[in-house]
Structures are given as C-alpha cells and as structure tokens.
Structure 1
Amino acid sequence: MSESVVLELRGLRKAFGEHEVLRGIDLTVHRHEVICVIGASGSGKSTLLKTVNLLEGIDDGEVLLQGTDIADPRIDVDATRARIGVVFQQFNLFPHMTVLDNVTLASRRVHGIAKAEAEATARRLLDRIGLGDFAGAYPDRLSGGQQQRVAVVRAIATSPELLLLDEVTSALDPQLVGEVLGLVRELKEQGATILMTTHEMAFARNVADRIVFLHEGEVVEQGAPADVLDRPQHPALVTFLSRVHA
C-alpha cells in the first residue's frame, strides 16, 4: 500500500438480517484528501462510517488503516479508535462536563496526555473557533452550531490520522450550518484527512477533493466534484441530483 493511503476499503460487505446494506465497497482515501460521500437516505452512508470506526462489524472484506486490517477480530479496538476522530449527527457532548473537559477527555484518558498540555491544546483550538470564552461553560449554554463545533474540536484535539464526519449539519438549524462547515473547510486547508457524509451539495462541490455516490450499498460513481455533480453518468445519480440543489 502506498504511504499516501490512509484508508482503504476492499470488498466491504455488511448486512442486517436479510438486508445487505453494504455490497462490496471498494474505496481509497489518501492523506490530506477530503472525500464527501453522498446518496439517498438508506444508501449505507452512515453504516459505512460506522464500520470504519469499528462500531459495526463487517461480514466480509478488509478495512485497512495505514495498511493494517482493523476489521481483524484480533485488533485492539480501543487503540484503533484512538487513531480516528469521529463526529456524528448528534453532538454527543457530556452534559455534566464543561466544554474544556469534553474536549480534553480523550487526550487525557485515552492518549495519556498531561492535563496541562491537553488543556493548553484545547484552549488554543477553542480560541481558534471563537469559543475560548466558553471553555468553562456547560453544553446547554451553547447553541447547536457551537456544540457541534466543540464536538469537531474534541475529535481533532488528539490529532487523529483520519477524521470521520457523519452528516454533521443535519441536526442544525439552517443559519447554524455555516459555522460548522466553515470549520471543516479550515481543517481541509490545514491538511486534515476527512471522510464525510453530507447532504450539503454546495459544500461538497467547494470543499471535496472527490465525491463518492453511494446507491443501494454500492459505489456507483465517484470523481471530481464538477464531474459528479455537473456530468453525472449513472441514472441513480441523475435522479438523486434532480431532487437536491447541487
């Protein structure tokens, strides 16, 4: 595997009962690349990310992180998850912990970083997104957009090799979406490696290096944003784009 490849999925299959959600997914993510996965509800997008983060087991295939098959049952799951940052649709901040404690928890508990160093990193990141004054606040003091930005900061505080973002704006009011997407755009500019699902076509067009269209558990089309969004080839993609604003 090339040193530039962070993640490679080979023949990934996952079924829930009789329903096969992922049907032989092949996908490669290179270092510093931002890939946006698009598709209709039920196409397998969220399940795809969950298999990468080992929240869902797979039925067949390989999930290679920096060349190691992390789908192997003998793998250290906790150590592997520590290498991957994840942000889901819901913010999942601990309500009884301050913003600062939320951001530093993984750094201290999982990575063994000293409290002073973890807090210094967290404060720097919070300052960068304009939330430095909220370090001592509890999540219920923050808007949805602010909470989701804190969740992203929590995910990147440990400098993960790969960042997974699952529809991170879907639970937000429209006026707050820009706050979170602006942060993702900044992460791209800083060289983060991101695999994300999104329904924001304009954002995918402007930020993604590659767009992957998932249909009924299969990658049926992928390429540069302009090619996928402006010159779709697969009939399912044509139909999908006719229903959204691209």
Structure 2
Amino acid sequence: MSETPTASGVPAVPVVPVLRMEAVRKTFGSSVVLRDVDLEVAPHTVTALIGASGSGKSTLLRCANLLEEIDDGAIWLDDEEITDPRADQDAVRRRIGVVFQAYNLFPHMTVLENVTLAPRRVHGVPRAEAETHARELLDRLGLGAKADEYPDRLSGGQQQRAAIVRALAVRPRLLLLDEITAALDPELVGEVLAVVRDLKGEGMTMVLATHEMGFARDVADQVCFLDGGVVLERGTAEEVFGDPREERTRRFLRRIVEAGRL
C-alpha cells in the first residue's frame, strides 16, 4: 500500500490500490505462465504491460478478472481479496470492464443493444436508463450515429470503440485492455488510442497490455516489462523506456526501436 505526498507535519494518508497482486502464479500443464507476479495499480492511473508475445501479459489480465484461476498467490480489488474462495466472482466481474483484441460484439444485436445488454441483464438497470447512458457514451466516443447499426456495418476501429463503450457502460472500477489495437489496420489504431487517452484524462484506472510502445510511453504512469512470466522491470515510462536497468529490457526495446515502433 502506497502513501500520498503530504505537507510538512501532516501524516501520510494510505492509498489503497485499485488492483493488487501478490506472488501470483499461473500454470498451464507443465508451462509456468506467471511466476510470482507482484503488481499494484493506484487509483486513476494507467499501467502498461509490455513484453514479447507469450510473456504473460494477457494471462495476467485474465487472472485479474478471474477469467483464469490462479494456482498460487492472491489478488485484491480495492480492499477485497477476490481470489478468496468465498468471494462472489460474478460481483467482482461486475466491477471490472474488459476489452479484448477481438471485438466480441454480438452480430445479431445493434450497437445500442450490445452496449445495454450487461447493464440491463447483469446490473438490473432499467432499459430507459441504460439506453440513455449508452447513448451518452456513444456520443462521447464518436459513435452516436451508429447506435442502431449492426456491428458488421462498422469499421474495425468503430467496432473496437463500441467494445470500449460496452465495457464503460457498467461503470467499472477498473478497465482492462488486452492488445485492443492488434486486430486493427494501422490507420484505425489512432482513433482507438485517442479514446484511451481521453479516458486517462477523465481519471479511469486502467491496465493495458500493448505492443504500441510509443503510446505506452506517452500515456502510462507505470510500465511493467514482462519476460517469461516475470515482471522483470517496472517503473515510470521515463525510467523504463529512457534508462532501463535490465539487459533483457534493453534488448527488447532495442528491437522495437530497430523495427521503427518507438
């Protein structure tokens, strides 16, 4: 648990992380995907998970949302241990929004129906209230005119923005973003990243796994470099991208620079 900066003589006020992981371990068969991962995400901050494919980024996010059961360790959401067997997993998931690289929109539902489904069915929000909130979010993300369209009538960038709106519609405490630009054409990446940048400005707490290194450098308050299921290095974006301590981090970033992605 971290503490807020204080004026001289004023006691520090503890800040409860929105998400906290301690010694989290996850295996698939004989393969160890996460090795004793520790992570803290402070309120109203963005944490970027970077690393090569297969380093454990997506699995970490899936464990945070209880989509994968951990083998050891513990995870807290605010001050509740959500990996306690007595925890209500459905209630936990209602407090976490998730956006995957695949849009996962229901093709037989309009954008508005996709966005309002969880608020109505899971949270019990009346239809009129859910639709009003959904339209406000769609307007804010530039999709107001697409509310009554079906997903296959939208571009990839529009579909991904609709998926973000769907995650926001439940008013999540924490937003997890898993490689949300991976399936997009290059010209559509910018419009989706602009949404994330706006959400940061509004104080949304986010954890994102990304290969967009320039974006991670610009938007993240904390950067974690994963390698072989281990958080090998963490720090501010300036520290990790500007002066990494670990040789493995330096090699990874050197390849990124050589590929023109940073």
Q: Say yes or no: TM over 0.5.
A: yes
Identity among equivalent pairs (%): 59
Q: Provide Cα deviations, 1:58-93, integer angstroms capped at 9, x if missing partner.
A: 000001011111112222111110000000010000
Which residue of the partner structure matches residue 208 of structure 1? 220
Deviation, structure 1 residue 3:
4.3
User: What 5-or-longer segments of structure 1 have no aligned partner?
Assistant: none
**Among 219, 235, 239, which residue is 1:227 paired with?**
239
Q: Distance in 2 between matches of 1:194 and 1:128?
A: 18
Alignment of 1:68-79 (within 5 A): 68-79=80-91
Structure 1 residue ranges, 4+ long, deviating more than 4 angstroms after superposition: none
Letter of the structure 1 residue corresponding to residue 126 of structure 2: A
Letter of the structure 1 residue corresponding to residue 119 of structure 2: S
Q: Distance in 2 between matches of 1:48 and 1:101?
A: 30
Letter of the structure 1 residue corresponding to residue 33 of structure 2: V
Native 8 Å contact 1:3 1:66 kept in 2: no
Tell me whether 70-79 or 201-210 shows the greater mean CA deviation: 70-79
Q: Distance in 1 between matches of 2:20 and 2:117?
A: 29
Q: Distance in 2 between matches of 1:4 and 1:177?
A: 33
SS of 1:25 mapped into structure 2: strand
SS of 2:18 mapped into structure 1: strand
**Among 17, 23, 30, which residue is 1:11 paired with?**
23
Native 8 Å contact 2:119 2:169 kept in 1: yes
User: What 5-or-longer segments of structure 2 have no aligned partner?
Assistant: 2-13
TM-score relative to the length of structure 2: 0.92
Native 8 Å contact 2:32 2:229 kept in 1: yes
Alignment of 1:38-187 (within 5 A): 38-187=50-199
| Largest Rg, 1 or 2 | 2
Residue-pair matches, total = 246
Over the aligned positions, Cα root-mean-square deviation in angstroms equals 0.9
Q: Distance in 1 between matches of 2:250 and 2:15?
A: 35
Q: Distance in 2 between matches of 1:4 and 1:122?
A: 30
TM-score relative to the length of structure 1: 0.98
Native 8 Å contact 2:21 2:73 kept in 1: yes
Native 8 Å contact 1:221 1:228 kept in 2: yes
Native 8 Å contact 2:21 2:39 kept in 1: yes
SS of 2:191 mapped into structure 1: helix
